[in-house]
Every structure is written in C-alpha cells, then in structure tokens.
Chains A and B, each alone.
Chain A
Amino acid sequence: MKGFQYLRNVATLRMKQERCIGCGKCLEVCPHQVFVLTAQKAQPVAFDACMECGACARNCPANALQVDAGVGCAAGLITEWLRDRKLLKVKQACC
C-alpha cells in the first residue's frame, strides 16, 4: 500500500510452497499485493505488507496458506483481553 508501512517481521503468514497449484487466487484476493506468481507458484514477496486478514488462506483451494487471521484493532484487543479475564461484560466490541 503506497505511503503506508506498519511494523516489520510480525505477520503470521506461512506458506507451504509444495502444495501451491499456481491458481493465483491469493493474488486475486490480497488487498496488499503480498504475492506474485512465478513459474506457476505463488510467492509471498511483500511479507511486511500482510495485515493478516486471512483472505488468501480461506480462498486457497490447495490449503497451502496459513495465517493467524484477525483484526488489527487496539480497542478490540483490549476488550478481548478484559473479556477473557472476565473483567468486562460486553456482547459487541466496536465495528
């Protein structure tokens, strides 16, 4: 994404290259152009641009991708943390 960069080396995106069938679905769904297709195999080249939305993993028919998907939202994480410790009773967090 032009002009924006978030923390380096944190994304949980993992790929099992030997499973990749080169269908290109991950390239189609990734909003941050993390992947390129070379020699019929997808490769995560812009690893640090990954925001862990999980679209690639969910749409990979070969099950070659894995990501600990979730939303990068501080308020949401705080709410989650409080709820896990039973300090807060809320049904919905934010958006």
Chain B
Amino acid sequence: MPGFVEWLTLGAGKIPRISTNLSFADRMGSWKARWNIGRMNYLVPPGLYAVGHPDHDSPVLVTANYKMSYDLVRKVLGGKNCWLLILETYGINVWCAAGKGTFGTEELIRRINASGLARIVRHRILILPILGAPGVSAHQIAKQTGFTVKYAAIRACDIPEYLTNGMKTTTSMQEMTFTIYERSVLIPVELVEAIKPTVIIALLLFVILSLMQGYVSGLMAVCAYLGAMFTGVAITALFLPWIPGRSFAFKGALTGFLWSIIFYLLSGGGWSLFMTVAAFLMLPTVSSFYALSFTGCTPFTSRSGVKKEMRIALPVMGCALLSSILIALIGRMI
C-alpha cells in the first residue's frame, strides 16, 4: 500500500500511519493515471489512517480511495497531526463518486462505525471536501452518528489553511475554478479515450480516399481528421473560456472551422469545390463532437444543459456528416 509507514497500536486495534511525502513511484503513478495507464490499479484500502501523531483531539478528514485523491490529501498534510478516514469509492474521485452516491451518507456511516472513530476521538466533527456534498447528507450523518459534518474546501491544497485558521472556509476555498492548468491535465486521458475510434475512422478514411483518389489524398484525409479530433479535444479545452458561445458543440464547431481553414492553407489549397465543401462540413463536425464530450470533464455544465445541447447538436452533426459524404460522392461522379 503506497505511503505506509508503520502500525500504530491504539487500545485494542491497530491503525496504519501514512507518509505525507510522495515517492517517485507515487508521482509516476499519477502521471500514468493521467494517461489512463492502469488508472484503476491503485485502490487504497478504505478505513481510518493516521497522519503524523494524532491524538483524541486531532481533526478527522474524509476522502475517497482514488489514488490521486489520497495522494493529494496526504501531500498537503505534511507537519499536521490528524486522522484520515478513507471511504470505499471503488477508485473513483470524490466528485464523481459523490454524484454516483458511493461517496455518500451510507458509506460514511459504515466507515465511522467500522473504524470505531467515536472511541478514537473525543470531538464529533468530520471535515469533508465540498465536492463530496452531492452524496452526503450532513443532517442524516448528525442524526445517525452524532458527528457534525463540516464542508471545508473544494481543493485539497486549502486544507492546511483551513486547519490553521480555526476551521473557517474562506470565499476562495469555496469557489470553483477551471484554470488553464486544470484544463490541460485532463487532455491526456481524453486523447487516450479517443484512440480506438480514431484509429478505426482514420483507417477507413485512408482506404476509401486512397481508392477514390490515390494514397496522397488518403493520407491528407487522415491528417485532416486527426487535426480536427485534436482541435476538438485539446484546443477547445485549452481556450475554452475565450472561444465565443455558451454551447460546447458550437465552440467545437468554431475551432473546427478554424482548423479547416488552416488545413486548407497548409495543404496549398487547390481542392475541388465539392471536396472543399465536404471537408468544411466534416471537420467542424468532428471537432464539435469531441468538444461536446468535454462537457463531462468540466465542473460547471449541468445535466439539463448538456441534454438540451445534445438534442440540437447531435441531429445537426448527423446531417452535416451525411451531407459531407453525399457532396464528396457527387463531386466524384460528375
């Protein structure tokens, strides 16, 4: 188990003490998880852990058993003495697990009871991440266990300040952010998830266009497609707040259109009218689809909003795709 230091003997039971220093292997693991390499192989056993040398007055923090949640929380607790209660979320982060309900009221009650927390600490306060609130009902916890839930902060990096300032949540601790860095770290996993369909489509495009117009056209089509995919996944995500429009599909179509122009210029132009129209329909559609998929990575899109957007965008994408294929075929025939 990563970060294990020693066993603390406490009354009748033993509690593992964990390190707040991340090893090289821990950092490597985070990097691999970002690239979707064995992302689910890092389950941290749920239960109670000790950080530093906690006693019966030390604060109790609650988190999920996802590798990165566990690492982020213990990393910021350097020099602190506290208890860390890890819930079984099946390797899913706090936010997604709270949405699914695994980071939830029932699981928290189960862990409080199983760990014998009420005998280990004298106070009755649990410190939870704000993004865990969709799954946990604070008043139910109070009613059933006697513990008061305090939602501390959104980001783990604010925990030290929260603990030193007398458990006060400042405005900034409560405000969601989605900075360019926070957006950029999400791109690798999105790209990896896109590999399988991309390889299939790229192969198909290559074969069809090679048969129609020779392998140079085939390669060009693959490049154009890869660019459109990358534009939808990475470029739209990076420049998200600065791209006009509220709808993600619209933002993606816009950047895809820009990519179409860039690709047209890079390839030296000279395409037939039909090919140009077909490409300018197809490429923005691809970007638009991937941009729409990015809604799942953001911390501000609502379910109703995405539903509404999909109801409009998916049929439009379908029509654009069909028209693009038809126009290319017509252009080939005349």
Instruction: Spell out A's residues near B (CB within 8 Å).
Output: 1-8, 10-12, 25, 28-29, 31-33, 49-55, 58-59, 61, 68-78, 94-95
Contacts and interface: CB of A to CB of B under 8 A. Distances in A.
Given A51-B305, A74-B292, 18 more contacts: A1-B178, A2-B175, A7-B302, A10-B308, A11-B305, A28-B151, A31-B131, A33-B174, A53-B98, A58-B137, A71-B99, A72-B302, A73-B306, A74-B306, A75-B293, A76-B296, A77-B303, A95-B96
A25 B151 CA distance: 10
B154 A31 contact: yes
Contact of A94 (B175, B296, B309): B296
Interface of B: 92-93, 96, 98-99, 130-131, 133-139, 151, 154, 169, 174-178, 193, 240-241, 246-248, 292-293, 295-296, 298-310
A33 B303 contact: no
A61 to B, nearest CB: 4
A13 B45 CA distance: 36
23 contacts: A1-B299, A1-B300, A3-B178, A6-B300, A7-B309, A25-B138, A31-B131, A49-B300, A51-B302, A55-B98, A55-B130, A58-B134, A58-B135, A69-B99, A71-B296, A72-B302, A73-B306, A74-B295, A74-B296, A75-B293, A77-B303, A78-B310, A94-B296
Contacts of B305: 6-7, 10-11, 51, 72
Given A1-B177, A31-B176, A95-B92, A52 B296 contact: no
Given A29-B151, A75-B293, A58 B136 contact: yes
B194 to A, nearest CB: 11
By Cβ-Cβ distance, the 9 closest A-B pairs, closest first, are A73-B296, A72-B301, A70-B303, A55-B133, A29-B133, A61-B139, A7-B305, A52-B302, A10-B304
A71 to B, nearest CB: 5
Contacts of A49: 300
B99 A53 contact: yes
A28 B133 CA distance: 9
